[in-house]
Every structure is written in structure tokens, then in C-alpha cells.
Amino acid sequence: MGSVEYDREAAHYQRARGMSLDAIAAWRAAIAPYLAGDDARPVLDVGAGAGQFARAFATWFERSVVALEPSPGMRHEAQRANAHPHVRWVGGRADELPLARQSCAAGWLSTVVHHVADLAACARDLRRVLADGAPVLVRSAFPGRDHGITLLRYFPAARRRLAQFPSLEQVIAAFAGAGFRPCELREVEQVSAASLRDFRDRVAGARHADSLLASLDDATFAHGMTVLDDAVRGADPAAPVRDSLTLLVLR
């Protein structure tokens, strides 16, 4: 079993895991109420990866964005694949944010809480850099809330890795220590691939770029690909693959 080496995988990450703005449009609707208003401070994208949500926020809401990403390789790839004039890229850690007090209007953490070594420290630093009353928006897969994740139908052994992710209760508790309280919890559906064949190709490309897939040994991954290939042969080629992830909002 392994973990993702983001500098090494940066060049493949966008192709394997990136999605179009149309595919993630449901997230626009879900978070729009929290990013409305005339606050000129930027949205903080913590662990911005290849930058698809940073670019989305700048495009959808005409907001400036600070995209925080510790991997130099991922920052380089993001500026190649998802450049936007309203996105500023910053290196740094989620639990040591290199930003001024009350300098940001909202915090966004997308599929990143399982990478944060000290969630309580991250929550405290978000409390420092966010404006009073600003929301923290967490998009994540949580243990026990995985029924909407297509990948697990074909690679059920990946649940062992998902079980190691922070639980919803652990995340809420970590942020409660910094004074944040949950104000919304819901599932949001997205279009992860245009078809099951497209999904299969994306999975193959994400072998070492996805935390769940990277945890599998080669034999287990190969078996899952065989099961997926069998499913592709009987699938409707025009049927998109939809997944659901959890949105947790705290203030």
C-alpha cells in the first residue's frame, strides 16, 4: 500500500481527476449561498491541488481566490492547466497558514481533511485568517458515508483506506475546539465521468494519483480493473457516472 506522491503525479492529476465546470455545477449551487455578498476578501482554497475549484470559484462567483498547495509540482501543474487571473497560488501547510489575520472571506477544503496532520491546528488557523462569521466549507468522503462513491463498487478493498479518513464526528470536534459549529450537512451529486468507459480510463490514469487507489496492492487493483472492464462492456455508453460526496459547512 502507498500514498500519493503529489510532485511526481502532478502531470497526471488533472487528466485523471479533473472535471469540467459543468460536471461540478451542483457544487456551485450548493455553496453559492455562502459566497454571496460584497466581501472583497478572497476565498481560501486549502489544499487546492491542480486548481479546478480555485478556477471554478473565480469563474462562477467572480471572486479572488488564494489557492494554498504544499506541492510545488501541483502548483506548477495548476498554473498550466487551471490558470486564472483572479487566483493567487501560495505554498504552505493547512495547519500553518501563511496569511494575515481576518484576510479571507471563506475557507474551502476539498477532499483534503485526510491529508491534514493536525486538524485542530488547521481549525485554529482558519479561525485566525477568516473574517468573523465566515464559513468553512468541507467537501469530503467520510467513513460510513460512502454509498455514493462509484469507485468502491469496483474496488471495495479501498474502504480500508477510507476507514482511516477522519470521520464526520472527528472533523466537527476538531473545528468545535476553534469555535466553529456545523450549520449544514448534505450530500452533493456530481458527474464524475461522461460514461463508464470514460470512468474506467480515468481510474487507470489515477492509479497513483488517488488516495484510495494508491492504497491498493497491484493484484487488488488489477482485479478491480477486470471487474470494471466487464461492467463497461454491458454499460450504456451514453450514461454518465454520478458520485455523491458530503458537504459540511461550519461557522
Which domains does the chain carry?
Answer: 6-143+164-191+244-250 (3.40.50.150)
Q: Are 34 and 131 in contact (CB under 8 A)?
A: no
Among left, alpha and beta (phi > 0; psi -120 to 50; other), residue 108 is beta
With 70 as the cut, is the pLDDT of residue 156 above it?
Answer: yes
- The pLDDT-based confidence of 63 (bands split at 50, 70, 90) is very high
Interval 171-195 mean pLDDT: 97
Q: Which residues contact 87 (CB under 8 A, 6 or more apart)?
A: 51, 54, 55, 58, 64, 65, 67
Q: Among the listed ranges 62-66, 76-80, 116-120, 190-194, which one has the minimum average pLDDT value?
A: 76-80
pLDDT for residue 247: 98
pLDDT for residue 1: 40
Q: Are 107 and 137 in contact (CB under 8 A)?
A: yes
Interval 163-180 mean pLDDT: 98
pLDDT for residue 191: 95
Place of cell 476578501: 41
- The pLDDT-based confidence of 208 (bands split at 50, 70, 90) is confident
| Predicted model pTM | 0.93
Average pLDDT, the chain: 93
pLDDT for residue 224: 98
Q: Tell me the three cell numbers of residue 64.
A: 479572488
